[in-house]
Amino acid sequence: MNVLIVDDEFAIREGLRDMLKQLANSGIPIHQVETSIDGNHAMDILHYYHFDLLITDVRMPGMDGLTLLEHVQSRFPKMKTIILSGFDEFAYVQQALRLGAIDYLLKPVNVPDLTKTIERISSGLNDTYNIHRSWKRFNELDAFKLLAVVDIDNPQETRALEFGDWQTLSWMLRKSSFEILQDMTGVYLIEEMESRMDSCNMICGFTGESPERAMEQFERFASALFEFWEDRVRLSISIGVSRPYRHDHSEEAPYSEALTALLTRLYRGSCIQKYPEDEQAEIGSASFARLWQQLEVSLDVGDIDRVIERLHEFVRESVKQGTPRQLMWSLERLMLDLNGRINQNALIPFSIEARHITQKVNQMQWSRSEEALQQQIGKWINDLLLSSDPEEQEGQIMLKAKKYIREHLGEMISLEEVSQHTYISRSHLSRLFRNRTGQTFLEYLTDLKIEESKKMLTEPGIKIYEVAEKLGYRDWKHFSRTFKNKTGYGPAEYRANLNISPLE
């Protein structure tokens, strides 16, 4: 392996060169190590000599490290790259990762960190640590197996946003996990599963010659990762794990068990949780029958809002009194029954297989909060109704959206906020506004605000800034410009033409 080091500080360049020579003497196949003072000089070298690995500082005079990475990515796509950064340069790290850097090293670089990274690269494993496997290959292993799911509890909290977007958080989760897993055997990262909320999570498989040994592997990994994120990253994560099993199994069973364990965080907060083996899953038959009867009556009278509201109440009560296993067992049964009930009266025949409902329940269990779970339930019901009678359901959605907008006209509401209230996707709601009103959501909202402002301006003595504030405008000048663009008059001019006393 040939390595090029790029840094404008002589001490860092030579220090890294010496470390790499030590690694070469210890048996790691490093054949050539060269240095460069900046990006421009590095590009000259790269055009004449072959290198397998580039280690570069981010902040340098002339061509900086990020610009160098851009050139390397386009001209030498097979070259692996590592960046050097300080604690206060994480914004650069985020951009470097997007440009294809496979790792970063904090300055001052120490021998153990460099050794781990170089060993991984020299073995040709890139950032996988040889633990990537498909579900099928993992499931066929002749050993006791268990499945674990790992998820960042709140990628939108202030601390998380300091690190950047979800791609950066995902990379951090994998990097910290790989560093724990690299010295372990019988551990696999399962990537070929159904899509999940975002990629701020992982699915891992653990094996052992006995159920106890497989669980020991998991516990060693989980405790180390949990502690690292709590103490070093200062973000909370949760981990759920299935029961051990031996022979081939359907994907849904251990995966669903791990997700049910993960859902415990709605009850307990951030946690490491095993699937509860001895827990009674089914809620009382009388309670379930009463709930289903209430849902059926609401469906009979077409009160879909009440259906969703009752299911939300059920989730709230379950989080307070029940367990994740009871909650998800009941939800899956309710979804199957609702699917059958709505399909009976559908104008357009449709079919949703039971396995698709199971997959949907699994997706719901990635929910990071009670509110997120309720959103998933409401959206599923809306999607089901859209399949059965799209014209009627779209009309109901628009009525609900318009009502919500009018009730919150004095606030700075967004399309995202209204889509959450109506339980459909942002893009779907945007299309509905265009198709059914001939306007974008923003155009519709602005027209409503202007119409309301015209009524307000007929009130004697009211000031323009008061009208703007009541309609959710942060700046009265912005309101005035918008009013004039829509009506051809400024607010004061409009008022004067109505022969109302001028504003003070």
196 and 64 in a common domain: no
The verdict on residue 423 lying in a domain is yes
pLDDT for 286 beyond 70: no
* CA–CA distance, 397 with 424 (Å, rounded to integer): 8
The verdict on residue 503 lying in a domain is no
Compute, in degrees rounded to 10, the torsion defined by CA atoms 387, 389, 395, 398: -20
The verdict on residue 60 lying in a domain is yes
Give tens-digit pLDDT for 229-249: 998 889 999 999 999 988 755
Among 59-68, 74-83, 346-355, 482-491, the minimum mean pLDDT is found in 346-355
pLDDT for 300 beyond 70: yes
Residue that wins the pLDDT comparison between 252 and 212: 212
CB 40 within 8 A of CB 52: no
Residue that wins the pLDDT comparison between 131 and 270: 270
pLDDT for 281 beyond 70: no
* CA–CA distance, 123 with 148 (Å, rounded to integer): 27
Cis before 324? omega within 30 = no
pLDDT for 282 beyond 70: no
Residue that wins the pLDDT comparison between 420 and 237: 237
447 and 469 in a common domain: yes
37 and 99 in a common domain: yes
The verdict on residue 214 lying in a domain is yes
231 and 361 in a common domain: no
* CA–CA distance, 124 with 115 (Å, rounded to integer): 14
The verdict on residue 58 lying in a domain is yes
pLDDT value, residue 345 = 61
The last residue of a domain, from among 122, 140, 157:
122
* CA–CA distance, 6 with 51 (Å, rounded to integer): 12
CATH code (residue 181): 3.30.70.270
The last residue of a domain, from among 96, 122, 148:
122
376 and 258 in a common domain: no
pLDDT for 259 beyond 70: yes
Domain assignment of residue 30, given as a range: 2-122
314 and 223 in a common domain: no
Indicate whether this model's pTM tops 0.75: no
- Concatenating the DSSP letter of every residue in 212-237 gives HHHHHHHHHHHHHHHHHIIIII---E
* CA–CA distance, 273 with 264 (Å, rounded to integer): 7
* CA–CA distance, 138 with 248 (Å, rounded to integer): 9
Give tens-digit pLDDT for 183-212: 777 777 776 555 455 568 888 889 999 999
The percent of residues in the chain predicted with pLDDT above 70, rounded, is 87
pLDDT for 223 beyond 80: yes
CB 215 within 8 A of CB 244: yes
Residue that wins the pLDDT comparison between 285 and 396: 396
Look up residue 96 and give its two tokens: 């470097």
The percent of residues in the chain predicted with pLDDT above 90, rounded, is 22
Burial of 367 from C-beta contacts in 10 A (0-12 / 13-18 / 19+): buried
CB 135 within 8 A of CB 190: yes
Give tens-digit pLDDT for 79-129: 888 888 775 566 666 677 767 777 778 788 888 888 878 877 776 544 444
Decide the pairing of beta strands 144-152 and 187-190: unpaired
Question: Which uninterrupted H or E stretch holds 307?
Answer: helix 304-321
pLDDT value, residue 193 = 56
431 and 456 in a common domain: no
> Each residue of 263-288: b (16+ CB within 10 Å) or e?
bbbbbeebbbbbbbeeeeeebeeeeb
The verdict on residue 279 lying in a domain is no
pLDDT value, residue 67 = 87
73 and 22 in a common domain: yes
pLDDT for 258 beyond 90: yes
Give tens-digit pLDDT for 449-479: 999 999 998 888 888 999 999 998 888 898 9
pLDDT for 264 beyond 90: yes
Decide the pairing of beta strands 53-57 and 2-6: parallel
82 and 50 in a common domain: yes
pLDDT value, residue 257 = 92
The verdict on residue 103 lying in a domain is yes
72 and 36 in a common domain: yes
Give tens-digit pLDDT for 120-161: 777 654 444 445 556 777 888 888 999 999 999 999 898 888
The CA distances from residue 418 to 156, 406, 409, 440, 481, in Å, are 19, 11, 12, 13, 25
Question: Across all residues in the chain, what is the average pLDDT?
Answer: 82
pLDDT value, residue 230 = 92
CATH code (residue 464): 1.10.10.60
* CA–CA distance, 113 with 107 (Å, rounded to integer): 11
pLDDT for 350 beyond 80: no
Question: Which uninterrupted H or E stretch holds 448?
Answer: helix 441-456
Structurally, how many domains does the chain consist of? 5
The verdict on residue 280 lying in a domain is no
pLDDT value, residue 252 = 65
Residues facing residue 444 across a β-bridge: none
pLDDT value, residue 220 = 93
pLDDT value, residue 244 = 92
179 and 229 in a common domain: yes
433 and 334 in a common domain: no
